[in-house]
Structures are given as C-alpha cells and as structure tokens.
Structure 1
Amino acid sequence: MAVHAQELEDLLRAAFPDAEIAVDGADGRHMSAMVVDESFRGKNRVQQQRAVYAALKGKMDGSDGELHALALTTRAPD
C-alpha cells in the first residue's frame, strides 16, 4: 500500500504542529520531506531525523514498509 503525500504530511504535522513542512513525491513509495521545527534546535542531524521517523509510526519499518525511501531535510528555524 502506498503512502500519499497528504498522509505523510498529516503524520508529520501531528508530531510537529508548528513546523514548516513540505512533502513531495507522487509514487507513494519514494518521497521527500523537509521539516523545519524549533524542537530540532540543539539536536544533531541524526537526532532530528530519528524524531521524524518516529512520527511516521512505522510507515518505513522493514522491507515491507509502506514507504520505501524518504529523502529527508531537517533543521531548526533560522
């Protein structure tokens, strides 16, 4: 089952309600997302990306995950 961009954005928005979020990708298996959120301030990139993956609630887990690849950009606001 594929993940639609809006579904991915909704999951991210639930975890990061005040974030700037942009999701792109039409095939539902290979997508990109940018998340800019204050909660990332002081965290390294790995910590930021782990927080985003946790928000995806298993959509990328294992070889049978609904989402195969996610090009992810994370940062704190300027």
Structure 2
Amino acid sequence: MAMDPREVAALIKAAIPDAAVEMGRFGEDNDHLTAKVTSAAFAGLPRVRQHQMVYAALGPRMGAELHALALTTVTPDV
C-alpha cells in the first residue's frame, strides 16, 4: 500500500516549513505519487540539491513505504 499523500506532504512541510506542496497520484492502481514542492529555500540551489532536500524529509520511507515519487521542485515567483 502506498503512503497517503497527506502524510508525504506533512513530512515535507515539517522539514521545509515554507513549502507549498501539491500532491497527486498516477499509475494503473494510483499507487504512485507526484509532488510539486515550491519553496524559497530552493533559491540558488541546483535541482539535484533541491530534490535531495525533499528526499531527506521523507527519510527511510523513500524506497520503502513510498516507492515511486515523481518530484518537481520550484522557487516561488517573487
């Protein structure tokens, strides 16, 4: 069973407090998740580092309870 998208969003927001997180599902059984994470904390960082920040927020759940996450990270428009 895939993780609840609300739980994923809560974990991300706990680690990146200013994050706006939009969650979605895809796949044949809707068991894969998408996340669009918008945060000023990403400003000036390469995309790889932005994604590492999100994956760090998910900790050991990434690859275990959460086996598929299509991730998009962006900085807010100012």
- For Structure 1 versus Structure 2, the TM-score category normalised by the shorter chain is 0.7 to 0.9
1: CA distance, partners of 2:45 / 2:31: 28
Equivalent residue number for residue 50 of structure 2: 48
C-alpha RMSD of matched pairs (Å): 1.7
- 2:60 match: secondary structure: coil
Structure 1 residues 23 and 10 mapped into 2: Cα distance closer, same or farther (>3 Å)? same
1: CA distance, partners of 2:76 / 2:51: 15
Identity %: 47
1: CA distance, partners of 2:76 / 2:67: 28
**Is 1:20 the counterpart of 2:20 in the alignment?**
yes
2: CA distance, partners of 1:60 / 1:23: 15
Equivalent residue number for residue 70 of structure 2: 71
Equivalent residue number for residue 59 of structure 2: 57
Tell me the matched-pair count.
75
Select between 33-42 and 11-20 the one with higher mean Cα deviation: 11-20
Gaps of 5+ in 1: none
8 Å CA contact retained: 2:2, 2:32: no
Gaps of 5+ in 2: none
Any idea what the Cα deviations from partners look like across 1:15-65, whole Å, max 9, x if unmatched?
12211111112767410001010010000000000000000021113xxx1
Equivalent residue number for residue 9 of structure 1: 9
- 1:25 match: secondary structure: strand
User: Which one-letter code corresponds to 2:25 in the other structure?
Assistant: G
Q: Which of 30, 33, 42 is matched with 2:32 structurally?
A: 30
